[in-house]
Structure 1
Amino acid sequence: MAHLLLIDGLNLVRRLYAAQERPFVNSASPYSTATGEQLLFNTSEQVLLVLKKLVRQFEPSHLTLVFEQPHLNWRAQLYPQYKADRHPMPEHLQLALPALLQRLADAGFNSVQLPEQEADDIIASLAMQMRQHQQQATIVSTDKGYLQLLPAGVQLYDHFNRVQHSADTVLQKFGVLPEQLVRYWSLVGDKTNNISGVAGIGPKTAMELLQLGPDIKTALSHPDCPEKLAQKIKAAKADLLVFMQILSLKTDLQLGLNLQQFRYSPQRSD
């Protein structure tokens, strides 16, 4: 069975870079150019170390890192507040990415970037293509948005917290099933993506509502659903539809990519 390891590239790189930069963040003066170059070099070293560790851990037959190009994506066009509060990537890190990707490629770790496509949707579509062909797909990321793919048999691993996610970890953290997460986040909001949610609805209310049915419409028609709550949610229907569209990963993109492009050759990175 083929096993495709899909690595959320910027998620990995930015977290490793932040760990390198942290001692300098609260410094009274900005660090020197030489220090910045050292941080970038140290980051690339750490990325390679992590990738080699992941390969040993998962023994994939195929592997790729997925990045996205800076652009105004379709989610921001639909909802301008989307990720509006997120700190931009440091400029010198952005400028250093092409050299980093080349270094990774030289070590046997190829990457994918497609214009006008978010990395999340590329990864989700590749993972689902693997599952549709009864092959294995593992995503490496701390992004909770990928949890919605668990019901399809996609694996999600958080390298930094050493967590292999499952329906049980989702239930323990959010109180709902993985297939209900998009509806749950649409109701309560999602700070990571700057989604406001429905005013006055918190995690407990959303969890109790979704226990009445697998989706919001079914739950609202349940006799135990409070009338005031139903009215509040119905009044916010237009916003909810937008939130659910934004938070749902695209899993059917026609990417023009061939699995053979991602075949991993262990000898190249040892």
Structure 2
Amino acid sequence: MPPHLLLIDALNLIRRVHAAVRAPDEDSQVDGAVSATLSSLIRAIKETSPTHCLIVFDGNPPTWRHELFPDYKKGRKPMPDSLRKRLGDFNRAFQKMGVKTFRKSGLEADDVIAAIASKASKAEVRTTILSTDRIFLQLLASPHIKLRDHFQKLDYQGQNVQNLYGFGADKLTEFWAIAGVGDVPGVQGVGDKGATALILEHQTMSNVFLLAEDAKGAAGKVIKQKDQALLSLKLATLACDIEVGVRMKDLRSG
């Protein structure tokens, strides 16, 4: 059987499940979330049939993004303390199931997953990323990587990005650097519509920067906020080239 790698964004899965659990108190909610997350994991493995599997947790901050942009994630709703204190219970439950888990201090799960997926892709290993985080869409420029929304039972590949945005996955980081996404600020005064028009006409921000300094509209705003745009590009780009020390042979499932 050809190898198939399943990479799971741990906190994305856990927090989505936890938010859906109804319980009389916080501890009971976490208890229910542990059980429900394991059920979701079993279903995900059954639906994707991986030969190799890894669940990736965020490492302790600060990350390189915090160093570049101190306000990174400051606007994000914090994880409930009752859940944060018991993340170890989820980790142990996953391992008891026989599924490997991984975290590395100073690295977000997004970057770890991107690095592993990119390395696997270069070896032409079919890879599925289980997450609802659209930041992973940028990886779909590779025909070997698929993003799965476990809750909607939807799979995304490169053509889906083209259909959704009007351009390929390889242009997404440029688009987000202008329009902003999640914790990435983008260029003030330019939204999705303006960013899309710029990408379709100029392809890259570098080409926008070559325009006259007195350019009008969205292009002019990007030029005037060049430093912000370049910072946003760095923040939006997953760190695919980092070495995380994970070997495929250690991830065999079953």
TM-score past 0.5 threshold: yes
Q: CA deviation at 1:178?
A: 1.2
2:3 matched residue in structure 1: 2
Q: Does the 8 A contact of 1:212 with 1:219 survive in 2?
A: no
> Quick one: which amino acid aligns to residue 86 of structure 1?
R
1:117 matched residue in structure 2: 107
Q: Report the number of matched residues.
A: 250
Q: CA deviation at 1:228?
A: 1.1
Q: CA deviation at 1:220?
A: 5.6
Q: Which moved more, 1:163-172 or 1:86-95?
A: 163-172
Task: Give the greater-gyration-radius structure (CA).
Answer: 1
2:158 matched residue in structure 1: 167
Q: Which moved more, 1:143-152 or 1:179-188?
A: 179-188
Secondary structure of residue in 1 paired with 2:98: coil
Decide which of 240, 243, 247 is 1:251's aligned counterpart: 240
1:155 matched residue in structure 2: 146
CA–CA distance in structure 1, aligned partners of residues 162 and 193 of structure 2: 13
Decide which of 120, 128, 132 is 2:122's aligned counterpart: 132
Secondary structure of residue in 2 paired with 1:43: helix
CA–CA distance in structure 2, aligned partners of residues 63 and 236 of structure 1: 42
Query: Could you tell me the TM-score, scaled by structure 2's length?
Result: 0.92
Q: CA deviation at 1:18?
A: 0.7
Secondary structure of residue in 2 paired with 1:86: coil
1:182 matched residue in structure 2: 173
CA–CA distance in structure 2, aligned partners of residues 13 and 50 of structure 1: 10
1:200 matched residue in structure 2: 189
Q: Which structure 2 segments of 5+ residues have no match?
A: none
CA–CA distance in structure 2, aligned partners of residues 263 and 72 of structure 1: 31
CA–CA distance in structure 2, aligned partners of residues 114 and 220 of structure 1: 37
Q: CA deviation at 1:227?
A: 2.6
1:227 matched residue in structure 2: 215
Q: Spell out, residue by residue over 1:86-123, the C-alpha distance to the aligned partner (whole angstroms, 9 max, x if none).
A: 11111121111112211111111221011111110000
Query: Does 1:81 pair with 2:71?
Result: yes
Q: Does the 8 A contact of 1:212 with 1:222 survive in 2?
A: no
Q: CA deviation at 1:136?
A: 1.2
Provide the identity percentage. Answer: 29
Q: Does the 8 A contact of 1:211 with 1:219 survive in 2?
A: no
How large is the Cα RMSD of the aligned pairs? 1.9
Q: CA deviation at 1:156?
A: 0.5
> Quick one: which amino acid aligns to residue 169 of structure 1?
N
Q: Spell out, residue by residue over 1:219-266, the C-alpha distance to the aligned partner (whole angstroms, 9 max, x if none).
A: 56589xx9314332221111111100011000111112221221101x
CA–CA distance in structure 2, aligned partners of residues 56 and 179 of structure 1: 31
Query: Could you tell me the TM-score, scaled by structure 1's length?
Result: 0.86
Q: CA deviation at 1:204?
A: 1.6
